Amino acid sequence: MSSKPVVWITRTLSANTLERARAHYSVIFDPSDTPADAATIIARSAEVDAIIPCHSEAFTAEVVAQLSDRVKIIANHSVGVDHCDLNALQQRGIVVTNTPDVLSDATAEIAMLLLLGAARRAAEGDHMIRSGEWKNWSPSFMVGHQVTGKRIGIIGMGKVGQVMARRARGFDMEVHYHNRKRLSVEDEQGAIFHETLDTLLPQAQFLSLHCPTTDTTRGMINQDTLSALPQGAILINTARGPLIDEAALLAAIESGQLAAAGLDCFVNEPGGNTEFSKYKQIFMLPHIGSATFETRDAMGYRALDNLDAFFAGKEPTDRLV
Ligand SMILES: NC(=O)c1ccc[n+]([C@@H]2O[C@H](COP(=O)([O-])OP(=O)(O)OC[C@H]3O[C@@H](n4cnc5c(N)ncnc54)[C@H](O)[C@@H]3O)[C@@H](O)[C@H]2O)c1
Ligand SMILES: O=C(O)[C@H](O)CO
Protein backbone atom coordinates (compact mmCIF):
# COMPACT_ATOMS: atom_id res chain seq x y z
CA MET A 1 0.00 0.00 0.00
CA SER A 2 1.27 3.46 -0.89
CA SER A 3 2.21 5.78 1.95
CA LYS A 4 1.89 8.80 -0.31
CA PRO A 5 -0.93 11.21 0.57
CA VAL A 6 -3.99 10.70 -1.63
CA VAL A 7 -4.89 13.81 -3.64
CA TRP A 8 -8.06 14.26 -5.64
CA ILE A 9 -7.61 16.53 -8.68
CA THR A 10 -11.14 17.43 -9.71
CA ARG A 11 -10.51 18.77 -13.25
CA THR A 12 -8.06 18.30 -16.12
CA LEU A 13 -5.10 20.42 -15.06
CA SER A 14 -2.08 20.92 -17.34
CA ALA A 15 -0.17 17.77 -18.35
CA ASN A 16 2.92 19.08 -16.52
CA THR A 17 0.89 19.59 -13.35
CA LEU A 18 -0.58 16.08 -13.49
CA GLU A 19 2.86 14.60 -14.12
CA ARG A 20 4.38 16.43 -11.14
CA ALA A 21 1.42 15.52 -8.92
CA ARG A 22 1.72 11.82 -9.81
CA ALA A 23 5.42 11.84 -8.96
CA HIS A 24 4.70 12.87 -5.36
CA TYR A 25 1.15 11.81 -4.54
CA SER A 26 -1.30 9.04 -5.09
CA VAL A 27 -3.59 10.91 -7.49
CA ILE A 28 -7.29 10.34 -8.07
CA PHE A 29 -8.27 12.03 -11.33
CA ASP A 30 -11.22 11.55 -13.67
CA PRO A 31 -10.29 12.54 -17.24
CA SER A 32 -13.97 13.17 -18.15
CA ASP A 33 -13.33 16.71 -16.78
CA THR A 34 -16.81 17.35 -15.37
CA PRO A 35 -17.40 19.69 -12.42
CA ALA A 36 -17.95 17.66 -9.26
CA ASP A 37 -21.36 18.20 -7.66
CA ALA A 38 -22.01 18.28 -3.90
CA ALA A 39 -22.76 14.55 -3.63
CA THR A 40 -19.55 13.63 -5.48
CA ILE A 41 -17.42 15.97 -3.34
CA ILE A 42 -18.86 14.54 -0.13
CA ALA A 43 -18.51 10.89 -1.23
CA ARG A 44 -14.98 11.33 -2.59
CA SER A 45 -13.79 13.15 0.52
CA ALA A 46 -13.72 9.85 2.45
CA GLU A 47 -10.98 8.53 0.13
CA VAL A 48 -8.57 11.48 0.08
CA ASP A 49 -6.20 13.51 2.26
CA ALA A 50 -6.25 16.56 -0.01
CA ILE A 51 -8.30 18.07 -2.83
CA ILE A 52 -7.14 20.32 -5.68
CA PRO A 53 -10.41 21.80 -6.93
CA CYS A 54 -11.15 24.63 -9.35
CA HIS A 55 -13.72 27.39 -8.97
CA SER A 56 -16.19 24.97 -10.60
CA GLU A 57 -16.51 22.96 -7.36
CA ALA A 58 -18.62 24.60 -4.64
CA PHE A 59 -17.58 24.04 -1.03
CA THR A 60 -20.70 25.50 0.55
CA ALA A 61 -21.32 25.34 4.31
CA GLU A 62 -23.64 22.39 3.65
CA VAL A 63 -20.96 20.48 1.72
CA VAL A 64 -18.21 21.37 4.19
CA ALA A 65 -20.30 20.07 7.09
CA GLN A 66 -20.44 16.66 5.37
CA LEU A 67 -16.79 16.36 4.31
CA SER A 68 -14.90 13.43 5.75
CA ASP A 69 -12.45 14.12 8.59
CA ARG A 70 -9.83 12.59 6.33
CA VAL A 71 -9.55 15.76 4.18
CA LYS A 72 -6.88 18.02 5.63
CA ILE A 73 -6.29 20.60 2.88
CA ILE A 74 -8.07 22.16 -0.09
CA ALA A 75 -5.39 23.57 -2.39
CA ASN A 76 -7.43 25.58 -4.88
CA HIS A 77 -6.34 25.88 -8.50
CA SER A 78 -7.68 29.47 -8.62
CA VAL A 79 -7.06 32.80 -6.98
CA GLY A 80 -10.76 33.50 -6.45
CA VAL A 81 -12.22 31.51 -3.56
CA ASP A 82 -15.85 32.62 -3.61
CA HIS A 83 -16.74 28.96 -4.29
CA CYS A 84 -15.44 28.10 -0.80
CA ASP A 85 -17.15 28.91 2.49
CA LEU A 86 -13.93 29.86 4.26
CA ASN A 87 -15.57 30.23 7.69
CA ALA A 88 -17.07 26.75 7.49
CA LEU A 89 -13.74 25.28 6.32
CA GLN A 90 -11.86 27.06 9.10
CA GLN A 91 -14.28 25.70 11.67
CA ARG A 92 -13.65 22.18 10.35
CA GLY A 93 -9.89 22.79 10.65
CA ILE A 94 -9.34 22.29 6.93
CA VAL A 95 -6.49 24.33 5.47
CA VAL A 96 -7.36 26.32 2.32
CA THR A 97 -4.90 27.81 -0.18
CA ASN A 98 -5.21 29.61 -3.54
CA THR A 99 -2.94 30.56 -6.46
CA PRO A 100 -2.29 34.33 -6.42
CA ASP A 101 0.25 36.27 -8.57
CA VAL A 102 0.84 33.63 -11.23
CA LEU A 103 -2.32 34.49 -13.20
CA SER A 104 -2.25 38.28 -12.90
CA ASP A 105 -0.55 38.93 -16.27
CA ALA A 106 -2.82 36.55 -18.19
CA THR A 107 -5.96 37.97 -16.58
CA ALA A 108 -4.95 41.59 -17.18
CA GLU A 109 -4.27 40.66 -20.83
CA ILE A 110 -7.87 39.49 -21.15
CA ALA A 111 -9.14 42.60 -19.35
CA MET A 112 -7.24 44.77 -21.83
CA LEU A 113 -8.44 42.65 -24.74
CA LEU A 114 -12.05 43.13 -23.57
CA LEU A 115 -11.50 46.85 -23.07
CA LEU A 116 -10.04 47.32 -26.55
CA GLY A 117 -12.47 44.91 -28.16
CA ALA A 118 -15.54 46.50 -26.58
CA ALA A 119 -14.36 50.04 -27.40
CA ARG A 120 -13.27 49.26 -30.98
CA ARG A 121 -16.03 46.76 -31.83
CA ALA A 122 -13.69 43.84 -32.49
CA ALA A 123 -16.22 40.99 -32.34
CA GLU A 124 -18.67 42.88 -34.59
CA GLY A 125 -15.96 43.50 -37.16
CA ASP A 126 -14.85 39.87 -37.16
CA HIS A 127 -18.45 38.72 -37.54
CA MET A 128 -19.01 41.16 -40.41
CA ILE A 129 -16.19 39.67 -42.47
CA ARG A 130 -17.02 36.03 -41.70
CA SER A 131 -20.72 36.50 -42.52
CA GLY A 132 -19.99 38.23 -45.82
CA GLU A 133 -21.70 41.43 -44.59
CA TRP A 134 -18.62 43.62 -45.28
CA LYS A 135 -19.75 45.19 -48.54
CA ASN A 136 -18.54 48.75 -48.24
CA TRP A 137 -16.14 51.07 -46.48
CA SER A 138 -17.02 54.59 -45.45
CA PRO A 139 -15.74 57.14 -42.92
CA SER A 140 -18.85 56.42 -40.85
CA PHE A 141 -18.33 52.64 -40.94
CA MET A 142 -17.68 50.73 -37.66
CA VAL A 143 -16.72 53.84 -35.72
CA GLY A 144 -15.82 53.07 -32.11
CA HIS A 145 -14.47 54.76 -29.00
CA GLN A 146 -10.82 55.75 -28.71
CA VAL A 147 -8.98 54.31 -25.72
CA THR A 148 -5.74 56.28 -25.72
CA GLY A 149 -5.64 59.09 -23.18
CA LYS A 150 -9.01 58.25 -21.55
CA ARG A 151 -9.67 57.84 -17.80
CA ILE A 152 -9.97 54.32 -16.37
CA GLY A 153 -11.43 53.48 -12.97
CA ILE A 154 -10.22 50.26 -11.35
CA ILE A 155 -12.18 48.70 -8.49
CA GLY A 156 -9.90 46.34 -6.53
CA MET A 157 -6.27 47.43 -6.89
CA GLY A 158 -4.79 44.07 -5.88
CA LYS A 159 -2.53 41.88 -7.98
CA VAL A 160 -4.58 41.81 -11.20
CA GLY A 161 -5.76 45.42 -10.75
CA GLN A 162 -2.18 46.68 -10.52
CA VAL A 163 -1.13 44.83 -13.69
CA MET A 164 -4.21 46.24 -15.43
CA ALA A 165 -3.18 49.74 -14.32
CA ARG A 166 0.26 49.20 -15.92
CA ARG A 167 -1.33 48.01 -19.17
CA ALA A 168 -3.69 51.02 -19.16
CA ARG A 169 -0.72 53.37 -18.71
CA GLY A 170 0.69 51.85 -21.89
CA PHE A 171 -2.31 53.45 -23.61
CA ASP A 172 -1.66 56.79 -21.85
CA MET A 173 -4.80 56.30 -19.76
CA GLU A 174 -5.25 58.26 -16.53
CA VAL A 175 -5.68 55.65 -13.79
CA HIS A 176 -8.14 56.13 -10.91
CA TYR A 177 -8.83 53.41 -8.36
CA HIS A 178 -10.86 52.37 -5.36
CA ASN A 179 -9.52 49.69 -3.05
CA ARG A 180 -10.11 48.60 0.55
CA LYS A 181 -6.73 50.10 1.35
CA ARG A 182 -4.74 52.85 -0.35
CA LEU A 183 -1.51 51.59 -1.96
CA SER A 184 1.89 53.07 -1.12
CA VAL A 185 2.82 56.02 -3.33
CA GLU A 186 5.47 53.82 -4.95
CA ASP A 187 2.93 51.11 -5.84
CA GLU A 188 0.38 53.67 -7.01
CA GLN A 189 2.64 54.72 -9.89
CA GLY A 190 0.64 57.93 -10.21
CA ALA A 191 -2.81 56.28 -9.96
CA ILE A 192 -5.38 58.46 -8.18
CA PHE A 193 -6.95 56.86 -5.08
CA HIS A 194 -10.67 57.31 -4.32
CA GLU A 195 -11.79 56.50 -0.80
CA THR A 196 -15.32 55.80 -2.08
CA LEU A 197 -17.04 54.81 -5.29
CA ASP A 198 -18.92 58.12 -5.14
CA THR A 199 -15.88 60.03 -6.35
CA LEU A 200 -14.38 57.28 -8.54
CA LEU A 201 -17.39 56.50 -10.72
CA PRO A 202 -17.95 59.96 -12.28
CA GLN A 203 -14.30 59.85 -13.47
CA ALA A 204 -14.46 56.40 -15.04
CA GLN A 205 -14.86 56.57 -18.83
CA PHE A 206 -13.77 52.93 -18.58
CA LEU A 207 -14.48 50.92 -15.41
CA SER A 208 -12.65 47.64 -14.82
CA LEU A 209 -13.55 45.27 -11.96
CA HIS A 210 -10.78 43.43 -10.10
CA CYS A 211 -12.14 42.80 -6.61
CA PRO A 212 -13.31 39.45 -5.21
CA THR A 213 -16.99 38.55 -4.80
CA THR A 214 -17.86 38.92 -1.13
CA ASP A 215 -20.98 39.88 0.81
CA THR A 216 -19.82 43.52 0.44
CA THR A 217 -19.10 43.51 -3.29
CA ARG A 218 -21.92 41.29 -4.62
CA GLY A 219 -24.16 43.46 -6.84
CA MET A 220 -21.91 46.53 -6.45
CA ILE A 221 -22.46 47.39 -10.12
CA ASN A 222 -26.17 48.18 -10.16
CA GLN A 223 -28.57 50.83 -11.40
CA ASP A 224 -27.22 53.43 -8.93
CA THR A 225 -23.53 52.85 -9.57
CA LEU A 226 -24.01 52.58 -13.35
CA SER A 227 -25.88 55.89 -13.42
CA ALA A 228 -22.97 57.55 -11.58
CA LEU A 229 -20.62 56.74 -14.51
CA PRO A 230 -20.13 59.30 -17.29
CA GLN A 231 -22.66 58.87 -20.12
CA GLY A 232 -21.29 56.35 -22.63
CA ALA A 233 -18.86 54.65 -20.23
CA ILE A 234 -17.49 51.17 -20.97
CA LEU A 235 -17.59 48.43 -18.29
CA ILE A 236 -15.07 45.57 -18.14
CA ASN A 237 -15.45 42.54 -15.86
CA THR A 238 -12.80 39.85 -15.50
CA ALA A 239 -13.44 39.37 -11.76
CA ARG A 240 -16.71 37.52 -11.08
CA GLY A 241 -20.24 37.69 -12.53
CA PRO A 242 -22.14 38.32 -9.28
CA LEU A 243 -20.42 41.72 -8.88
CA ILE A 244 -22.86 42.97 -11.51
CA ASP A 245 -26.65 43.20 -11.46
CA GLU A 246 -27.05 41.90 -15.01
CA ALA A 247 -30.56 43.36 -15.48
CA ALA A 248 -29.18 46.81 -14.60
CA LEU A 249 -26.30 46.30 -17.06
CA LEU A 250 -28.77 45.47 -19.85
CA ALA A 251 -30.86 48.54 -19.01
CA ALA A 252 -27.72 50.72 -19.11
CA ILE A 253 -26.76 49.30 -22.53
CA GLU A 254 -30.33 49.87 -23.79
CA SER A 255 -30.36 53.48 -22.61
CA GLY A 256 -26.85 54.26 -23.88
CA GLN A 257 -25.62 55.05 -20.35
CA LEU A 258 -23.09 52.31 -21.11
CA ALA A 259 -21.68 52.48 -24.64
CA ALA A 260 -20.35 48.93 -24.35
CA ALA A 261 -19.30 46.19 -21.98
CA GLY A 262 -16.56 43.56 -22.10
CA LEU A 263 -17.29 40.52 -19.94
CA ASP A 264 -15.30 37.38 -19.08
CA CYS A 265 -17.51 36.46 -16.09
CA PHE A 266 -21.25 35.96 -15.65
CA VAL A 267 -23.73 35.22 -12.88
CA ASN A 268 -24.60 31.98 -14.65
CA GLU A 269 -21.55 29.92 -15.63
CA PRO A 270 -21.15 28.09 -17.89
CA GLY A 271 -23.62 29.52 -20.38
CA GLY A 272 -23.65 33.19 -19.51
CA ASN A 273 -26.68 35.45 -19.96
CA THR A 274 -28.56 34.66 -23.17
CA GLU A 275 -30.08 38.18 -23.19
CA PHE A 276 -26.58 39.62 -23.59
CA SER A 277 -26.19 37.89 -26.96
CA LYS A 278 -28.85 40.22 -28.42
CA TYR A 279 -26.59 43.26 -27.97
CA LYS A 280 -23.64 43.83 -30.27
CA GLN A 281 -22.27 46.32 -27.74
CA ILE A 282 -21.54 43.45 -25.34
CA PHE A 283 -18.26 41.70 -26.10
CA MET A 284 -18.03 38.36 -24.25
CA LEU A 285 -15.49 35.68 -23.47
CA PRO A 286 -16.16 32.39 -21.62
CA HIS A 287 -14.18 32.92 -18.37
CA ILE A 288 -10.73 32.53 -19.96
CA GLY A 289 -8.88 35.20 -17.95
CA SER A 290 -6.16 32.82 -16.78
CA ALA A 291 -6.30 30.41 -19.72
CA THR A 292 -2.79 30.46 -21.17
CA PHE A 293 -0.51 27.42 -21.39
CA GLU A 294 2.10 29.18 -19.26
CA THR A 295 -0.37 30.22 -16.59
CA ARG A 296 -2.08 26.84 -16.38
CA ASP A 297 1.31 25.27 -15.54
CA ALA A 298 2.07 28.06 -13.07
CA MET A 299 -1.30 27.69 -11.33
CA GLY A 300 -0.91 23.91 -11.09
CA TYR A 301 2.62 24.22 -9.71
CA ARG A 302 1.51 26.84 -7.21
CA ALA A 303 -1.29 24.56 -5.93
CA LEU A 304 1.25 21.72 -5.66
CA ASP A 305 3.79 23.98 -3.90
CA ASN A 306 1.12 24.63 -1.28
CA LEU A 307 0.37 20.90 -0.92
CA ASP A 308 4.09 20.03 -0.72
CA ALA A 309 4.61 22.57 2.07
CA PHE A 310 1.59 21.30 3.97
CA PHE A 311 2.63 17.64 3.81
CA ALA A 312 6.20 18.62 4.78
CA GLY A 313 4.79 20.15 7.96
CA LYS A 314 5.42 23.73 6.79
CA GLU A 315 3.12 26.69 6.37
CA PRO A 316 1.80 26.81 2.77
CA THR A 317 2.69 30.19 1.18
CA ASP A 318 -0.87 30.90 0.06
CA ARG A 319 -2.73 29.71 3.14
CA LEU A 320 -6.03 31.59 3.56
CA VAL A 321 -7.41 29.71 6.59
N1 LIG B 1 -11.52 35.84 -15.09
C2 LIG B 1 -10.59 35.10 -14.53
O3 LIG B 1 -10.23 34.06 -15.04
C4 LIG B 1 -9.95 35.55 -13.26
C5 LIG B 1 -8.58 35.35 -13.10
C6 LIG B 1 -7.98 35.84 -11.93
C7 LIG B 1 -8.74 36.48 -10.96
N8 LIG B 1 -10.07 36.62 -11.15
C9 LIG B 1 -10.87 37.32 -10.13
O10 LIG B 1 -10.21 38.53 -9.83
C11 LIG B 1 -10.22 38.72 -8.42
C12 LIG B 1 -9.00 39.53 -8.04
O13 LIG B 1 -7.82 38.77 -8.19
P14 LIG B 1 -6.43 39.29 -7.56
O15 LIG B 1 -5.45 38.22 -7.76
O16 LIG B 1 -6.15 40.67 -8.06
O17 LIG B 1 -6.83 39.38 -6.01
P18 LIG B 1 -6.23 40.35 -4.91
O19 LIG B 1 -6.68 39.81 -3.61
O20 LIG B 1 -4.77 40.56 -5.14
O21 LIG B 1 -6.95 41.74 -5.20
C22 LIG B 1 -8.27 42.02 -4.86
C23 LIG B 1 -8.32 43.47 -4.40
O24 LIG B 1 -9.68 43.82 -4.19
C25 LIG B 1 -9.73 44.63 -3.03
N26 LIG B 1 -11.07 44.60 -2.45
C27 LIG B 1 -11.66 43.63 -1.72
N28 LIG B 1 -12.89 44.02 -1.36
C29 LIG B 1 -13.07 45.26 -1.86
C30 LIG B 1 -14.13 46.20 -1.81
N31 LIG B 1 -15.25 45.95 -1.12
N32 LIG B 1 -13.98 47.38 -2.45
C33 LIG B 1 -12.83 47.66 -3.10
N34 LIG B 1 -11.79 46.82 -3.18
C35 LIG B 1 -11.91 45.62 -2.57
C36 LIG B 1 -8.67 44.04 -2.10
O37 LIG B 1 -8.28 44.99 -1.14
C38 LIG B 1 -7.57 43.71 -3.08
O39 LIG B 1 -6.67 44.78 -3.24
C40 LIG B 1 -10.26 37.31 -7.84
O41 LIG B 1 -10.88 37.31 -6.57
C42 LIG B 1 -11.06 36.54 -8.84
O43 LIG B 1 -12.42 36.56 -8.49
C44 LIG B 1 -10.68 36.17 -12.27
O1 LIG C 1 -10.15 32.94 -9.80
C2 LIG C 1 -9.47 32.40 -10.68
O3 LIG C 1 -8.35 31.92 -10.48
C4 LIG C 1 -10.01 32.31 -12.08
O5 LIG C 1 -11.29 32.77 -12.15
C6 LIG C 1 -9.93 30.93 -12.64
O7 LIG C 1 -10.53 30.04 -11.78
Closest by CA position to 264, among listed 52, 93, 80, 129:
80
> Pocket residues for ligand 2 (CB within 6 Å)?
54-55, 78-80, 103, 289-290
Looking at ligand 2, which atom is closest to the CA of residue 107?
A: 4
Testing ligand 1's pocket by substitution, the residue of 77, 78, 96, 107 carrying the most ligand atoms inside 8 A of its CB is 107
Return the percentage of the chain with pLDDT > 70, whole number.
99
Pair (80, 26) in one structural domain = yes
Count structural domains, the chain. Answer: 2
* Residues labelled as active-site residues: 240, 269, 287
Helix, strand, coil percentages for the chain (3-state, nearest 5): 40, 15, 45
Determine the structural domain holding residue 208 and report its residue range.
104-284
Pair (175, 33) in one structural domain = no
Q: How far is the CA of 47 from the centre of ligand 2 (A)?
A: 26
- Considering only CA atoms, give the Rg of the chain: 21
Pair (93, 168) in one structural domain = no
Pair (153, 261) in one structural domain = yes
CA distances from 80 to 34, 205, 226, 293, 314 (A): 19, 27, 24, 19, 23
Tell me whether residue 317 is in a domain. Answer: no
Whole-number pLDDT of residue 2: 54
Pair (232, 154) in one structural domain = yes
Pair (41, 183) in one structural domain = no
Tell me whether residue 321 is in a domain. Answer: no
What is the DSSP-derived secondary structure letter of residue 107? Answer: H
pLDDT band at 253; cut points 50, 70, 90? very high
Whole-number average pLDDT of the chain: 98
What is the SS3 assignment for 252? helix
ipTM of the complex: 0.99
Pair (159, 240) in one structural domain = yes
Tell me whether residue 84 is in a domain. Answer: yes
What is the C-alpha to C-alpha distance for residues 260 and 283, in angstroms, rounded to an integer? 8
Q: Which ligand is nearest to the CA of 211?
A: 1
Do 145 and 120 form a contact (C-beta atoms < 8 A)? yes
CA distances from 254 to 247, 281, 300 (A): 11, 10, 41
Domain CATH number, residue 193 = 3.40.50.720
CA distances from 37 to 43, 63, 105, 267, 303 (A): 10, 10, 31, 18, 21
Which distant-in-sequence residues (6+ apart) come within 8 Å of 91 by Cβ? none
pLDDT band at 92; cut points 50, 70, 90? very high
Pair (44, 155) in one structural domain = no
Q: How far is the CA of 158 from the centre of ligand 1 (A)?
A: 6
pTM over 0.90: yes
Tell me whether residue 319 is in a domain. Answer: no
256-304: per-residue pLDDT in tens?
A: 999 999 999 999 999 999 999 999 999 999 999 999 999 999 999 999 9
